[in-house]
Amino acid sequence: MEKASCSTKKQKYIRHMAVMFCWVCMSAFIPPVMADDLSDCISSMIGPKNDAMTVGELRLLCQKMIHGGSFNGGSKEVAVTSERFRQDSEHVLEPYTLMSHKPNYILLGAYNSHHYNPDLFRAQYSNDSIELDDTEAQFQISVKTPLLLSVFDTFDLYAAYTNRSFWQYYNSSISSPFRETNHEPEVWAQFRSDRQLLGLNNSANMLGIVHQSNGQGGTLSRSWNRVYASFIFDRGNFALAFKPWYRLPESSSDDDNPDITDYLGHAEFYAAYKHNSHVFSAMLRNNIESEFKRGAVQLSWSSPLWEYPYLKGYVQYFSGYGESMIDYDQYVNRIGVGFILTDRL
């Protein structure tokens, strides 16, 4: 009886999430009516700093700034995410430009107090002597590029690729292999927005599709496909994002991880705050649906290193499920220290 009740609660939760997802998408991805700031922006951009740019380039740059919310006629404070969009807008004028997407970092040492499970690797390679170190190196490389700009004067189309690797660098007994590498290509439409909600500026909305897998075979194979939305809000040095998704169904014969949504859920929340050059961020995932039993929390802090402004020290803490594809159903309690090149803010 208790099991049936839990199942009914989960079905209601998923239905509510789906209804909210559709409603928010419909309201957020319809462009708001905005004043025509294009001429004001172009006028403000004309000067010695931009004298090498053509009128067409200035027009495109201003369109991107207005769409991203970073141009407001000087009437209000530019928020941190709007500034990030402004920087992207300047770079998309260059053909075939690769820009940072998610944070790019390396954790020189990442220690998991709950131990990584070697059983899958022992079964895959028929070797019962395989042992995994609790301390490894981890790094993430994430880039994006614009595909189409100002489509129907409404949205821009982007593509991105994120690689996250888990490297048993200190495990010399098995030749320091990569324990896991997750590949994440995605494509999304990025919509302009200038709405206000509870004192926050809705600086961008996105709708996309993403594939994630570990490129393995046999018992180690993991993958899934999702459609997602992302709603970004900011105010001053604070940014907040809500990212719900829907997993695209697979046939039971091809599905390597049919219960992955039981651990990774249907949404993530992000929050970040920038103080001077320090960035504090948090990620919260799937805690409500799993009744705080299978969720995940990730906390991070980046800080400048002496006089080197572009290389920052980085501390990242993760507790919960879904740290990697191979261990999505294993609890991980890990803290890592290293360097970060590009952050969320």
Q: Is 23 helix (H, G, I), strand (E, B) or coil?
A: helix
Please give the share of the chain, as a percent, with pLDDT higher than 70.
73
Q: What is the dihedral of CA 319, 325, 330, 334, to 10 degrees?
A: -30
Q: Can you give the pLDDT at residue 154?
A: 87
Residue 287 lies in a domain: yes
Residue 322 lies in a domain: yes
Domain encompassing residue 125: 99-342
Which residue type does 48 have? Answer: P
Residue 23 lies in a domain: no
Residue 207 lies in a domain: yes
Q: Is the pLDDT of residue 73 over 80?
A: no
Q: Can you give the pLDDT at residue 26?
A: 45
- What are the angstrom distances between the C-alpha of 82 and each of 127, 142, 271, 297? 52, 20, 15, 26
Residue 344's CB: how many other CB atoms inside 10 A? Answer: 21
CA distance 206 to 229: 5
> Is this structure's pTM higher than 0.85?
no
Q: Which residue has the higher pLDDT, 285 or 153?
A: 285
Split into its structural domains, the chain has a count of 1
| Chain length of the chain | 345
Q: Can you give the pLDDT at residue 54?
A: 63
Q: Can you give the pLDDT at residue 270?
A: 96
Contacts of 107 (CB under 8 A, 6+ apart): 137, 138, 139, 314, 316, 336, 337, 338
Q: Can you give the pLDDT at residue 29?
A: 57
Please give the share of the chain, as a percent, with pLDDT higher than 90.
59
The pLDDT of 148-153, averaged and rounded, is 87
Residue 140 lies in a domain: yes
Please check whether residue 334 is in contact with residue 314, taking contact to mean a CB–CB distance below 8 angstroms. Answer: no
CATH number assigned to the domain comprising residue 163: 2.40.230.10
Residue 92 lies in a domain: no
Is 84 exposed, middle or buried (CB count within 10 Å of its CB: 0-12, 13-18, 19+)?
A: buried
Residue 238 lies in a domain: yes
pLDDT in tens, 304-339: 987 766 789 999 999 999 999 999 999 999 999 999
pLDDT in tens, 173-193: 999 999 999 999 999 999 988
pLDDT in tens, 133-143: 999 999 999 99
Catalytic residue numbers? 211, 213
Residue 8 lies in a domain: no
CA 140 to chain centre: 11
